[in-house]
Structure 1
Amino acid sequence: MADCILVLDAGTTSTRAMMFAADGTMEAVAQQALTQHYPRPGWVEHDAAEIWDKTLACAREVTGDDVGRIGAIGITNQRETVVAWDRETGEPLARAIVWQDRRTAGFCADMKQYGHEPEVQRRTGLLLDPYFSGTKMRWMLDHDEGVRSAAQTGTLAFGTVESWLAYKLSGGAHLSDASNASRTLLLPLDGAQFDEDLCELFGVPRAALPEVVDTHGQLATCDAQWLGAAVPICGLAGDQQSATIGQGCLGFGETKATYGTGAFVLTNMGQEIPRSEHRLLGTVLYQQDGVRTYAIEGSCFVAGSLIQYLRDQLGLIGSAAETEDLARSIEDSGEVVIVPALAGLGAPHWNPDARGVISGLSFASGRAQIARAALEAMAHQTHDLASAFAADGAPWCRLHIDGGMSANDWMAQDLADILDLEVERPDFVETTALGAAILAAVGSGMQDSLERAAQAMRGGGKTFNPQMTGDVREARLARYARALTAA
C-alpha cells in the first residue's frame, strides 16, 4: 500500500533522503556529505554528478524493499545554485556554481551602474547580486567552452538543483517549480514562464531554461530503473519556501526563520505581489494550479557556516554543540562582536565586498567569548531583518524558527531577547523536508489542502519568551552597529 512520501533534500553541505508517513512521522533517513570546492576566494562550486549520485544512493537506502509504500516524491533543494548539463548525454558540462558564490559581483556592479536594478527589482522582486542564478548562468556562458558550445548547438540545459534532480529521475523532463524559478532574475513575479526580455538582458538563452511548473501536483514521474518502481514526483520547492510550508506559515503575515548554512526569513504575503522599499526580496512561496502565493524574504549568507568556520578553519571548537555550553559558561561576550560577512553581507545591506569582522578583542577574550559572539551574531543579523520587514509594512508578531542551529536553546532564547518577540521552535526542526512532504502529499492527493496537510503532519513545539532588559538589548545592538560599520 502506498502510504509514504519520499523526500529528497539536496542541501548545501549534504544531501538526504527521508521517508515520511502520511501523518508526518519520519520513518527513515539517509544522509551523505557533499564536497565543497573553493577554487578561488569567493568562489564556491559543487559537482552536480556527485549531488545526483549521492541523492540516489540515499533514496535507495531509505526505500530498500519498501518502494511499494512510496506514493509520491517531494524534492527540496539549495536555491540559486546553477547546474549546466547536456540534453543529449544527460551529463554535467561544468561544476555547479553554488548560491554562496560571489564571482559575478563585478557583473552585478556594472548592471547597477547602467541603471538596470530598479526595473529588475520591479519585475522579479530581486536585486542585482551574485546570489541569484541568472548572473551565474551568464558567467558559465562567458567562461566555459563546453557550456558555450552546447548553447550554440542547442543541447544546453540550465537548471537549479531541483530541476537537475527531476531531469535525472524522470529521464529527461526539464522543469523548474515556480519557487525556485523566482530566484533566477529571469522570471517576472507576474509571469507564467521565463521572460525573453530578461533573458536577453542577462545574456541567457531562453531555450536552455526549463518549463516553470507548480510547486505541487502531478509534475513528473521517477523512472522505475532508479528505485525499482515508477513513482510520481508531486512536490518541488526551494528549501526556504519548503521550510515556510513545513512551519505551517500559510496565512498572511506568518513568518519563519531558518538557521542552516545561512539564515533565511520569509513572511507570507498572500496573493499580492510584494514590493519592498528596504532592499528585501519578493519571491514565490508556492504555486497551485497556476495561482501564486508570494512571500517577502530577507537572507543572511552566513549562519551555521560561521560555526563550521570556527570548528574547521580556526579549531576553536570541536563540535557545533559545544557553542551552547561555552555561551552559558560566561556572563557575556566581553564586548566581543562578530559580523559574519565571510561571503559578503546579504539583506538588507547587500554588500558583496564586505568581509567578516571580530571586534572588541582583549587579553580577556577566549574561545568562550568568541563562541558566544558567534551565536549572538545570529540575533543581530535577524534584528536587522526585522527592522527592514517592519519598515516594509510586514512587522513580525511571532517568529517560527527551524534549521540545525535552532536546536541550540541558548541561541533561541537570545533571538527572543534581542527581537523582544515570542519565538517558537517545533519539536521536529527539519521543517524543510517536512514542507516537501506536505507539498507532495497534497500534490499526490494523499491530503486535500496545504492547510489540512500541515495541521495533520506537524507536531508540537517549544516557546521562548523575551527576558532581556531594554538597556542590555540596546547596548548589544549599539556594539553590533559599530562593528557593522567596520565590515
Structure 2
Amino acid sequence: MSGIVEKISNMVVGEQQAPKVDPSTETFVGSIDQGTTSSRFLIFDTKGEPVAVHQGEFSQIYPNPGWHEHDPEEIVKSVENCIEGALKIFEKDGHSKESIKAVGITNQRETTVCWDNKTGKALYNAIVWTDTRTAALARELKARDGSDKLQDICGLPISTYPSVTKLLWLLRNVEKVKEAYEAGNLAFGTIDAWLTFKLNGGPDKNIFVSDATNSSRTMFMDIRTLKYSDEVLDFFSYEFDLRKVHMPEIVRSADTKAYGQLTSGSLQGWPIMGCLGDQSSALVGQKGYEPGSAKNTYGTGCFLLYNVGDKPVISKHGLLATVAYNFDGKPIYALEGSIAVAGSGVKFLMNNLGFSQASHKITELAETVQDNGGLVFVTAFSGLFAPYWIDDAHGTMFGITHHTERGHIARATLEAVCFQTKAILDAMEKDSGHKLTELAVDGGMSNSALCMQTQADLVGIPIIRPKMRETTALGAAIAAGFAAGVWKDFDELKEVNTAGQTIFEPKMDDASSKKMFKRWERAVQMSKGWLAEEDAEEGKPQAEGEKEDAKKEQEEGSKL
C-alpha cells in the first residue's frame, strides 16, 4: 500500500493549516492516548521513538456491582493536563513545539458518552466498555426477531460490550438523557467523538466526528459501507427512535481537516489529523499492514487483532469483525478477539486481595511456584468475551486445596489471559483457514517474561515483543503523520521499532500444553449461569434460546 499522503491530500483542506515548520528542524507528531485507567500524551520522532510523555490517571467509578463509569469532563481535563506536561518536558529538552506537525488520537472504544449538543455538557457519566449492567437488556434484545442477522451487517454480536446497549440503558434510565432526546438535543458518541468535540471548543465549532474503527464498535455502522445501517437502526428503535439521536459523522482515520484543531492550551491551533480506536491503533503501531499479521495487546483487557485484508470476515467462531484502519478511503479489516480481564486481573490481586503494591511483584510471586498447582482462575469479572461470549459467568477459582498458595493464585491469574488468547487464536485459525506463524505483543502485561513464555508454550508459536511498547500511541501518531506528510507510505515504516525486540519460543511439549488448556475449558463450562439464576429470581426476562442453552449447560456440567 502506497501513496497514502497523496490520496489524503486530495481531500479538502480547511482554512487552518499546520504550524509552519523550519525544514532544517526535527519533525515530530503528538499522540493523545486516552485509555481505560489513564490518559497520556506522547511526542514521537520520525523513527517512531517517543521523546516526551506525560501520564495522568483519573477516577474509576463503580456505583454498583458490575457497573463501571468515568467522569467525561475529568477525561477531557486529564488529556489537556497530559498535553501540557509532555510539552513541558519536550521544550525543556531543547525542542520547539513548532516542530510538532500534527496530533493524533487513540482511545478506549465502546465506552459511551451522552451530552446535550446545544450546551456541550455531559448528561451522565461515561459507561465504560467493561460495564455489565446491560446483561439483562442484551438478553432481551437477543430474543427479538432479526437479532441473528445483525452480526453479518455490523460485525458484532449483541452483548454488554458494544455501545448500543449502553445508549439504550441511558435512554431508559437517566431522566436528563430522556429529556435531551425528547428535545432533539441528545448527542451520542464514543470517547473519540467526545474528545474531538470538546478539544475543538464544544458546541461553538461543533466538530462531531468518529472514525470507522470506533464507529464499528457501536453496532450502528454497516461494516462494508462504513455508513450507519438503516436495518440496524430500525432493529434497535423499537422503544426509542434512534434517528432522533445525534450521531457523529463517520470519517477516515487520517484526515487533514475533519478532526479540527486544539482550541486551548499551549498547542492551541495545532491540527488533529488522525484517530484510531486503541486496538486498531496498536495493530498499526505494530506494523500489521499485511493480511495474516496479528498483534495482541495485554492492557486492562486483552485484544487480539488479525489483519484479513480489504474484505471483512464475519466470524462463525465467536470473534468480531472490525475495521483495522481507513487511511485513504480503502478500509482494511480485522478479526478481533477480546478478553475483558487482563491487566485488571493483576490489579484485582493488588487492590482487592492485597497481594502487592507493584504489578511486577505479581510476576515475581507467580515465579515462586513451579506451576499453578492444579488451580484454574476464570477471571470472568465482566462475563467472558471472545470466543465464549458468556454474559452470565462470574469469576471463579477451581482446584483450591490445602496446597494452594498465593503464588498459585498469581500464576493462575496470568495464565487466564494466556488460555483465552489461545482460544481466540484457535477461533481465528478456523475463520481464516490459516494458522499464525508468530504473534506480536504489547501492553503492560507483556512486560512479564513469565506470562509471555506461558503464552508461547500454550499457542505453540513465537511471541515477538518489541523493545518500545508504546505501540498504541504510535499507531495514532502514524495516522496523523500520514495526513500531515511526515510519512508517505508503509514502506517508510519498515524499520520503525525493530531494534531490541525479544522473541519467546515455545518450550512446553504439545501434550502438556493440551492438558492445561483442556482443564481451562472445563473450568469455563463450570463458571456459567451465575447471573442468569439471579435474573430469574428477580423475574427478569430470559430468551427462549438462552433457557435452552442453560438447560444444555446444566446437563453438560453434570457429565463433567
TM over 0.5: yes
RMSD: 1.5
SS in structure 1 at match of 2:105: strand
Aligned to 1:346: 385
Task: Work out which of the residue numbers 183, 205, 218 in structure 1 matches 2:243.
Answer: 205
Shift in Å at residue 480 of structure 1?
Answer: 1.2
Q: State the one-letter code of the partner of 1:6.
A: G
Identity %: 37
Q: Tell which structure's C-alpha radius of gyration is larger.
A: 2
Q: 1:435 to 1:454 in 2, by over 3 A?
A: farther
Q: 1:92 to 1:40 in 2, by over 3 A?
A: same
Task: Work out which of the residue numbers 281, 289, 297 in structure 1 matches 2:336.
Answer: 297
Aligned pair 1:17/2:51, yes or no?
no
Shift in Å at residue 68 of structure 1?
Answer: 1.9
Gaps of 5+ in 1: none
Aligned to 2:133: 103
Contact kept, 8 Å, 1:265 with 1:299, in 2: the verdict is yes
Aligned to 1:315: 354
Aligned to 1:26: 50
Q: State the one-letter code of the partner of 2:153.
A: R
Contact kept, 8 Å, 1:151 with 1:208, in 2: the verdict is no
Q: 1:80 to 1:297 in 2, by over 3 A?
A: same
- Distance in 2 (CA, whole Å) between partners of 1:452 and 1:317 is 43
- Distance in 2 (CA, whole Å) between partners of 1:22 and 1:195 is 39
Aligned pair 1:426/2:466, yes or no?
yes
Shift in Å at residue 256 of structure 1?
Answer: 0.6
SS in structure 1 at match of 2:115: strand
- Distance in 1 (CA, whole Å) between partners of 2:408 and 2:350 is 15
SS in structure 1 at match of 2:331: strand
SS in structure 2 at match of 1:388: helix
Aligned pair 1:249/2:288, yes or no?
yes
Shift in Å at residue 456 of structure 1?
Answer: 3.8
Contact kept, 8 Å, 1:194 with 1:206, in 2: the verdict is no
Aligned to 2:163: 133
**Which is worse superposed, 107-116 or 28-37?**
107-116
Q: Deviations over 1:176-209 (max 9, x none)?
A: 0010000000001112322233223223236410
Task: Work out which of the residue numbers 195, 204, 217 in structure 2 matches 1:183.
Answer: 217
- Distance in 2 (CA, whole Å) between partners of 1:136 and 1:121 is 18
Which structure carries more strand by proportion?
1
Task: Work out which of the residue numbers 220, 231, 253 in structure 2 matches 1:215.
Answer: 253
- Distance in 1 (CA, whole Å) between partners of 2:450 and 2:515 is 19
Q: 1:457 to 1:413 in 2, by over 3 A?
A: closer
- Distance in 1 (CA, whole Å) between partners of 2:231 and 2:332 is 24
Aligned to 2:172: 142
SS in structure 1 at match of 2:519: helix
Shift in Å at residue 102 of structure 1?
Answer: 1.1
Aligned to 1:59: 83
Task: Work out which of the residue numbers 231, 239, 246 in structure 1 matches 2:270.
Answer: 231
- Distance in 2 (CA, whole Å) between partners of 1:251 and 1:206 is 40
- Distance in 1 (CA, whole Å) between partners of 2:499 and 2:249 is 35
Task: Work out which of the residue numbers 501, 517, 523 in structure 2 matches 1:461.
Answer: 501
Q: Deviations over 1:9-66 (max 9, x none)?
A: 1100111111111221111111111211111111111000000011111111112464
Q: State the one-letter code of the partner of 2:167.
A: M
- Distance in 2 (CA, whole Å) between partners of 1:220 and 1:317 is 42
SS in structure 1 at match of 2:359: coil
Alignment of 1:80-95 (within 5 A): 80-95=110-125
- Distance in 1 (CA, whole Å) between partners of 2:244 and 2:162 is 17
- Distance in 1 (CA, whole Å) between partners of 2:414 and 2:400 is 16
Q: 1:154 to 1:335 in 2, by over 3 A?
A: same
Contact kept, 8 Å, 1:246 with 1:454, in 2: the verdict is no
Q: State the one-letter code of the partner of 2:31.
A: V
**Which is worse superposed, 394-403 or 344-353?**
394-403
Aligned to 2:489: 449
Q: State the one-letter code of the partner of 2:226.
A: A
Q: State the one-letter code of the partner of 1:99.
A: W
Q: State the one-letter code of the partner of 1:138.
A: L
Q: State the one-letter code of the partner of 1:108.
A: A
SS in structure 2 at match of 1:136: helix
Q: State the one-letter code of the partner of 1:49.
A: E
Shift in Å at residue 238 of structure 1?
Answer: 0.5
Contact kept, 8 Å, 1:342 with 1:355, in 2: the verdict is yes
- Distance in 2 (CA, whole Å) between partners of 1:454 and 1:238 is 22
Q: 1:318 to 1:427 in 2, by over 3 A?
A: same
Q: 1:319 to 1:116 in 2, by over 3 A?
A: farther
Q: State the one-letter code of the partner of 2:59.
A: T
Q: State the one-letter code of the partner of 2:516.
A: R
Shift in Å at residue 116 of structure 1?
Answer: 3.0
Contact kept, 8 Å, 2:283 with 2:294, in 1: the verdict is yes
Contact kept, 8 Å, 1:199 with 1:206, in 2: the verdict is no
Aligned to 2:554: none
Aligned to 2:374: 335
Contact kept, 8 Å, 2:114 with 2:189, in 1: the verdict is yes
Alignment of 1:256-267 (within 5 A): 256-267=295-306
Shift in Å at residue 302 of structure 1?
Answer: 0.5
Contact kept, 8 Å, 1:84 with 1:93, in 2: the verdict is yes
Aligned pair 1:163/2:193, yes or no?
yes
Q: State the one-letter code of the partner of 2:294.
A: T
- Distance in 2 (CA, whole Å) between partners of 1:70 and 1:169 is 17
Q: Deviations over 1:129-149 (max 9, x none)?
A: 110011111111111111122
Give the paired residue count: 487
Aligned pair 1:46/2:85, yes or no?
no
Shift in Å at residue 239 of structure 1?
Answer: 0.4
Aligned to 1:35: 59
Q: Deviations over 1:416-442 (max 9, x none)?
A: 001111110010112101111111111
- Distance in 1 (CA, whole Å) between partners of 2:267 and 2:502 is 40
SS in structure 2 at match of 1:83: strand
Q: State the one-letter code of the partner of 1:79.
A: R
Task: Work out which of the residue numbers 229, 236, 250 in structure 2 matches 1:195.
Answer: 229
Contact kept, 8 Å, 2:181 with 2:244, in 1: the verdict is no
- Distance in 2 (CA, whole Å) between partners of 1:187 and 1:481 is 33
Q: Deviations over 1:457-477 (max 9, x none)?
A: 654411110001123212211
Shift in Å at residue 220 of structure 1?
Answer: 2.3
Aligned to 1:306: 345
Contact kept, 8 Å, 2:466 with 2:497, in 1: the verdict is no
SS in structure 1 at match of 2:326: strand
